[in-house]
Amino acid sequence: MKFTLSWLKRHLDTTATLDEILYALTDLGLEVEGVTDPAARLGAFTLARVQSAEQHPDADRLRVCMVETDEGVKQIVCGAPNARAGITVVLAKPGDYVPGIDVTLSVGKIRGVESHGMMASERELELSDEHDGIIELPSGEVGQTFTDWLAQNAPEKVDPVIEIAITPNRQDALGVRGIARDLAARGLGTMKPVEEHKIAGSYPSPIAVSIDEDTRQDGCEIFAGRLIRGVKNGPSPKWLQDQLRAIGLRPISALVDVTNFFTFDRNRPLHVFDADKVQGNLRIHRATGGETLIGLDEKEYTFAQGQVVISDDTGIESIAGIMGGLATGCTGDTVNVFLEAAVWDRVQIAHTGRALKINSDARYRNERGIDPDYNMQAIEDATAMILELCGGEPSEVVVAGAVPDTARAYELKPARVQSLVGMDIPEAQQRATLEALGFRLEGNMAWVPSWRPDVTGEADLVEEVARVASLTKLEGKPMPRANVGVPAPVMTAAQKREQIARRTAAALGYNECVTYSFIDKASATLFGGGDDATMLANPISSEMSHMRPDLLPGLLQAAARNQARGIMDLALFEVGPAFSGGEPGEQAVAVSGVLIGRNGPKDVHGAARPVDLFDAKADAQAILSALGAPDKAQVMRNGPGWFHPGRHGVICLGPKKQLAVFGELHPRVLREMDVKGPAVAFTIWPAEIPEPKNKTASRGALTLHDLQAVERDFAFVVDTDVEALTLVNAAAGADKALIDSVRVFDEFIGGSLGEGKKSLAITVRLQPTEKTLKEAEIEAVSRKIVEKVVKATGGALRG
Amino acid sequence: MDELRNTYIERIAKAADEAALEDVRLQALGKKGEISLKMRELGRMDPEERKTAGPALNALKDEINSAIAARKVALEDSALDERLKTEWLDVTLPARERRQGTIHPVSQVTEEVTAIFADMGFAVAEGPRIESDWYNFDALNIPGHHPARAEMDTFYMHREEGDARPPFVLRTHTSPVQIRSMEAQGAPIRIICPGGVYRADYDQTHTPMFHQVEGLAIDRDISMANLKWVLEEFFSAYFGTSVKTRFRASHFPFTEPSAEVDIQCSWQDGTVKVGEGDDWLEVLGSGMVHPHVLRSGGIDPDEWQGFAFGMGIDRIAMLKYGIPDLRAFFDSDLRWLRHYGFSALDVPTIRGGLSR
């Protein structure tokens, strides 16, 4: 909402400075978004008088002027054709900034002659495009500031323009008078009365108006109109044009400008039809669907069933309360005008406006709510203004529907105000504030003014009192903890897991990313998503069309972007939700990491090598372990299709309880996502990890054995598809009491072993608990280990 | 006896290497060594003679043994010194590379915020990112036609034809978590709800996803003055310097009265410094929870009252850590992650400080 200071002062009698007004507006909740104060950039300039103007010795078109200023007579070189003795000019001195040429002046020499300033043209001061000569003022004294002169002689040129943000509850502040009312309530002046016109019609309106039965409910409350015949619709007067231009509106014609004036002055949209283009009577009704209308913006609109419109005998002529039709719009030739003032259903206006994508000043106001009680006075006031500007002869007013009864009252509870706001606002002040805002108090019942549809309860009264009292004055008051003593932990187990996973991954050398929750359909599809259930109805771009089914596609896209910048070795991770569907709750937190390229830059120690799946496995296991997952988990191979089919594993507790997956990413996925490999990854689902059974902090006793442990190595030749874990589990099962651990330390494939065979070497650690092992006992266990392994794997001890 | 001692001590000192030293040892203490032979003679001596010769010989033997051991160490030392003279590495070569992981500023600041509010008794609540429009709007006093709905640039989920339910939305704020928490817990309640939110807006200063933290405190007599205190405590703790706030009247459908909150700051050469100067920077929206919202959460507004606020985590991260561009938060440029990221061990705590 934009308005000028002079417009505000039409309604507010105030001596407050611009700064005081701006501060109060923001503090009242009418946040100032911008202010243009022409005086600010003209403040330095003063008036001066040219005493003499002589031809420059070395330039035909320049004159050397002696100029009388407030600092004595100065020599100024000037190229303007009108520079001559006796004229009063606007002077810019050395040091002044001249906005139109973006220069800060200094004493200069022009063709060898010193010049101590500049006499400005209108364009140089950004007052207009006029640049044929320097400004010649018809009056004014030497030394007077230019802004003072303008304020007296051309106030519109120094009229500050203020732009404020309007929150949805402050429809009344969409009119300058409403803004003035707030400022007056704050104490920044008093409201000026407005004249309430009463114009008697001299003949019945030849155009009748009606509202269809099905449109009275939730459509149109009241529609009033009158014909004014014999108007002369030319340009509106200069003051009106200046005001409209100042707030960014284009003056069109007196009739249209009058409607715009009421829109911004009183938050009162009106419409004017060219009566000669209206066939028969006006009828407010609902569209049946499919009708079209060319609007005043010359665009064609197609109506849906139920949208409220205004028709004459030939069809739809106006989008009720939103935009008029082009065909019946007023032009310079209009001589008979039909003036409309109506109250529309706010919700209906909002829906229709949104559906037709029209953002007009009328829609903006009608959907937020105008003052219904002003409707019948508005038509009188607007008639008076039209008669004043255009002449003409008004008809009687025709009306369909009735002004809705919005009378309501809420109890003002002064103690409640204090308890909610925490400020000491005396009851008398609370009452005075409400009255200044137009509330009528009967005892403690506050009757809401008709222009405040937003006030719908006691809490709204509190808000009004508090904002006028100024929340800036609010003093903080300590809020004690709900419970005394040491604060209890506040994070849930799931929250702690996220934090632990995140910090463990970072400690393992991964860089945390936060990527968008939505990705493109192709990438989502590669990772098992991309279906319609996870699709956005209104994505911001096709790159962000589907909720991510997994964190990996986002990380791979991040990797591809980094590779495009020449960073080839990456360790990235993310902790966040992945979406299995489009319903609330169809999301689960995942922890994903990718390792790409080498494990580090190539180095003098030869330590750099391509990453492989065992790096991903190690990191996944480290994070799982930090999250409290049990050590003994199975590794299965039924992982998702975006991993290499033979080079991935699923870490699980039983076939249905998957904790994590790790492995090489499928080469096709890497190709599609433009990532240069090698690339390995893991994903962990923290919520799948069972809660620890032991809820106490106690670790249990540490059992240490004093007896010497014995290690024995075995090598087995087995088929290549035999998994090491099968072998290890078989060996460990040979004597659960004695065998402390089994560890694979070598794998050898092919060579002398022949096709399809491999050798796996294990170290078995035996830990006696009661007495030192004798060689015979070790032999016995060894035989049993070999027996178990051979049975489980079909292999043989390597000879 | 003295002569014998002197001879061997001298020989030991002159032994040039371990082999020579071993020779000397054998000559003195070997089976047929001079001292060994003399020891054997002890048996033939009369007891009186033996009384003096015995201890003397034993002492001599010990002395020679010690001298040999000492000489041996000396020889080893000099051999080691010789070897070390030939051993040299270029220590200016780079060390073995070790990857340095980082924590994203959004995560770090979320933990900072959590730590501060936990100390004031606020628990952490969470909710789904895809929400019903009831939780995201209606329950928060934003009915279907409310202009705020259009202004929020809401992302809607696709609806199958024939599914007449209202569309689900990507939550436009963390406020729905207020409702879910009130439903689950009732009053009194103190929570913060950090998390990602979504709005269909993308330009210099907006990204379609960003992060918010919501705060909610409901009790019997909580006022806006308490809110101001809590926020000033928070900002002072967060920025590590005393920060004043300014409340300005505003409007949010879910609070009444509502206030936008500015923090004190100064602008110098385009950079902002919080906690000093005469300027004000708008950082959050807040107010007293609207009775409609309390009722939506199953709480009786005649009995309970309290405040709510919401602020941008990314935004306060930018302010504190001088991060210029919001869009870069979600770009995952490794150079950015390394520069603005935090060490894994920099866990923000009240006792140790929120940041280094």
pTM: 0.85
Task: Give me the mean pLDDT over the B183-191 stretch.
Answer: 95
Q: Are residues A575 and A619 in the same domain?
A: yes
Tell me phi and psi for residue A777, to 5 degrees. -65, -40
Residues A653, A516 share a domain = yes
pLDDT exceeds 80 at position A42: yes
pLDDT in tens, A559-589: 999 999 999 999 999 999 999 999 999 999 9
Q: Summarize the confidence of residues B21-37 as an average pLDDT.
A: 87
Alpha carbons A593 and A159: distance in angstroms, whole number: 61
Query: Please, is A393 exposed, middle or buried when counting C-beta atoms within 10 Å of its C-beta (0-12, 13-18, 19+)?
Result: middle
Number of domains forming the structure of chain A: 6
Tell me if chain A has a CB within 8 Å of the CB of B221: yes
Q: Chain A contact for B186, CB < 8 A?
A: no
Average pLDDT of the segment spanning B309-327 = 94
Left if phi > 0, otherwise alpha if psi is -120 to 50, otherwise beta: which for A68? beta
Identify the closest residue of chain B to A464 by CA–CA distance: B257
Distance of CA B72 to the CA centre of its chain: 54
Chain B: residue nearest A561 by CA?
A: B333
CATH number assigned to the domain comprising residue A15 = 3.30.56.10
Please indicate if any CB of chain A lies within 8 Å of the CB of B119: yes
Cα separation, B19 vs B173, in Å, equals: 87
Q: Which of A27-31, A124-128, A615-619, B19-23 has the lowest mean pLDDT?
A: A124-128
Mapping DSSP to helix (H, G, I), strand (E, B) and coil, where does residue A525 land? Answer: helix
Q: Tell me the pLDDT band of A633, cut-offs 50, 70 and 90.
A: confident
Residue A147, pLDDT above cutoff 70? yes
Whether B253 shows a pLDDT value over 70: the answer reads yes
**Helix, strand or coil for residue A388?**
helix
Report whether pLDDT(A39) > 70.
Answer: yes
In a domain, A705, yes or no: no
Cα distance between residue B158 and residue A581, in whole Å: 11
Quick check: B199 and B153 in contact, CB under 8 A? yes
The stretch B47-52 carries a mean pLDDT of: 84
B259: nearest Cα among A187, A750, A167: A167
Shared domain check, A422 and A368: no
Q: Shortest Cα distance from B184 to chain A (angstroms)?
A: 15
**Residue A675: predicted pLDDT:** 96
Number of H helices and number of E strands within chain A? Answer: 21, 42
Give buried/exposed letters for B112-139 (b at 16+ CB in 10 A, else e): bbbbbbbbbbbbbbbbbbbbbbebbbbb
Q: Which residues of B touch A368 (CB under 8 A)?
A: 147
Best A30, A413, A458, A490 member to test B by mutation, with max B CBs in 10 Å, is: A490
Residue B134 has pLDDT above 90, yes or no: yes
How do residues A218-254 score in pLDDT, each as one tens digit?
999 999 999 999 999 999 998 999 899 889 899 999 9
C-alpha separations of B250 from A149, A165, A169, A412, B253 in Å: 39, 10, 9, 21, 10
- Report DSSP letters for A481-512, one per residue: -SS-SSPPP---HHHHHHHHHHHHHHHTTPEE
Which residues share a beta bridge with A401? A222
Tell me the C-alpha distance between A146 and B280, whole Å: 33
Q: Are residues A661 and A774 located together in one domain of the fold? A: no
Q: Give the whole-angstrom CA distance, residue A271 versus residue A379.
A: 10
Give the mean pLDDT of A740-761.
91
In 3D, which of A167, A179, A127, A155 has the Cα closest to residue A2?
Answer: A179
Q: Chain B: residue nearest A489 by CA?
A: B118
CATH number, domain of A637, equals: 3.30.930.10
Could you tell me if A455 and A410 are in contact, meaning their C-beta atoms sit under 8 angstroms apart? yes
Quote the crossing angle between the two packed helices A361-368 and A346-356, to the nearest 10°.
Answer: 140
Q: Quickly tell me which residue has 């606007």 as its tokens.
A: A90
- Contacts for A671 with CB less than 8 Å, ≥ 6 apart: none
Name the residue in chain B with its Cα closest to that of A602.
B97
Does the structure show a pLDDT above 80 at B149?
A: no
CB atoms within 10 A of CB A764: 24
Mean pLDDT of A263-282: 95
- The whole-angstrom separation of Cα A356 and Cα A302 is 8
Domain coverage including residue A292: 209-401
Nearest to A408 by CA among A366, A372, A358, A365: A372
CA distance A731 to A748: 19
Same domain, A58 and A23: no
Structural contact between residues A103 and A117, judged by C-beta atoms closer than 8 angstroms = no
Give A663's Cβ-side CA count (13 Å radius).
22
A185 vs A448: CA distance, rounded Å:
15
A740 labeled binding residue: no
Looking at the structure, do residues A516 and A655 belong to the same domain, yes or no? yes
In terms of domains, do A266 and A362 share one? yes
pLDDT digits (tens, 9 = 90+) for A689-698: 998 877 788 8
Give the pLDDT band (50/70/90) at residue A131: confident
* Spatial CA neighbour of A613 closest among A645, A578, A576, A587: A645
Say whether A499 and B111 touch across the interface (CB within 8 A).
yes
Residues in A touching B145 (Cβ below 8 Å): 346-347, 350-351, 367
Q: What is the pLDDT of residue A123?
A: 87
Residues of B in contact with A499 (CB under 8 A): 111
Indicate if A668 and A596 belong to the same structural domain: yes
Contact A551, A576 (CB under 8 A): yes
**E strand map for A295-347:** 300-302, 308-312, 315-319, 323-324, 336-344
Identify whether the C-beta of residue B170 lies closer than 8 Å to the C-beta of residue A508. Answer: no
C-alpha span between B157 and A539 (Å, rounded): 9
pLDDT of residue A416: 87
pLDDT averaged over every residue in chain A: 93
Calculate helix-pair angle for A427-436, A176-186, nearest 10 degrees. 160
Q: Which residues of B touch A599 (CB under 8 A)?
A: 99
B256 in a labelled binding site = yes
Residue A13 marked as a ligand binder: no
With 80 as the cut, is the pLDDT of residue B146 above it? Answer: no
Write down the pLDDT at residue A698.
86
Count each helix (H run) and each strand (E run) in chain B, helices first: 12, 10
- CA nearest to B115 within chain A: A490
**Which of A305-314, A707-716, B31-40, B101-110 is predicted with the least confidence, judged by mean pLDDT?**
B31-40
Identify the pLDDT of residue A716: 95
pLDDT at B148: 67
Residues A572 and A612 in one domain: yes
Q: What is the DSSP string of A412-461?
A: --HHHHHHHH-S---HHHHHHHHHHTT-EEETTEEEPPTT-TT--SHHHH
A711 is in an annotated binding site: no
B114 contact residues in A (CB cutoff 8 A): 490-491
The percent of residues above 70 in pLDDT, for chain A, comes to: 100
Q: What is the mean predicted confidence (pLDDT) over A678-697?
A: 91
Minimal Cα–Cα distance from B46 to chain A, Å? 54
pLDDT at B61 over 80: yes
| Same structural domain, A243 and A289 | yes
In a domain, A699, yes or no: no
Residues of A in contact with B155 (CB under 8 A): 536-540
Q: Are residues A681 and A728 in the same domain?
A: no
> What mean pLDDT comes out for the span A49-71?
90
The one-letter amino acid code at A523 reads S
Q: Which range is most confident: A32-36, A481-485, A510-514, A722-726?
A: A510-514
- Of all residues in chain A, what percent carry a pLDDT higher than 90? 77
Please give, rounded to a whole number of angstroms, the shortest distance from the CA of A350 to a CA of chain B.
6
A275 in a structural domain: yes
Q: Is residue A110 part of a domain?
A: yes
A203 occurs within a structural domain? no
Helix B313-321 vs helix B105-119: angle between axes, to the nearest 10 degrees? 100
Q: Is residue A374 assigned to a domain?
A: yes
For chains A and B, count residue pairs whose Cβ atoms are closer than 8 Å: 274
A322 and A232 in one domain? yes
Mean pLDDT, range B60-75, rounded to an integer: 91
Nearest to B249 among A27, A460, A533 (CB): A27
CB–CB contact A512 B102 (8 Å):
yes
User: Residue A726: which CATH number?
Assistant: 3.30.70.380
Residue A755 has pLDDT above 90, yes or no: no
Q: Give the separation between CA A335 and CA A325, rounded to whole angstroms.
A: 18
Let me know if residue A702 belongs to a domain. no
From the list B96, B156, B160, the residue facing A536 with the nearest CB is: B156
Mean pLDDT of chain B: 91
Where in B121-184 does DSSP place strands (E)?
A: 123-124, 130-131, 169-170
- Asked if the Cβ–Cβ distance from A467 to B196 is below 8 Å, we say no
Q: For residue A678, is the peptide bond before it cis, meaning its omega torsion is within 30 degrees of 0?
A: yes
Tell me how crowded residue B66 is: count the other CB atoms within 10 A of its CB: 11
**Residue whose tokens read 């009344």:** A172
Residue A544: which of A566, A565, A517, A562 has the closest Cα?
Answer: A517
Query: B102–A167: do the CB atoms touch at under 8 Å?
Result: no
Residue with more model confidence, A686 or A458 = A686
pLDDT confidence tier of residue A537, bands split at 50, 70 and 90? very high
pLDDT band, very low/low/confident/very high, at A600 (cuts 50, 70, 90): confident
So what's the pLDDT on residue A592?
A: 98
CATH number at residue A77: 2.40.50.140
Considering CB atoms only, which of B147, B222, B332 is closest to A367?
A: B147
Q: Which tokens sit at A16? A: 């407050």
- Asked if residue A238 is part of any domain, the answer here is yes
pLDDT at A750 (0 to 100): 79
Sorting pLDDT into bands at 50, 70 and 90, what band is B151?
A: low
Spell out which residues of chain A touch residue B219, defining contact as CB-CB under 8 Å. 482
Asked if B118 has any chain A CB less than 8 Å from its own CB, the reply is yes
| Location of structure tokens 């492995």 | A663
The predicted pLDDT at position A47 comes to 93
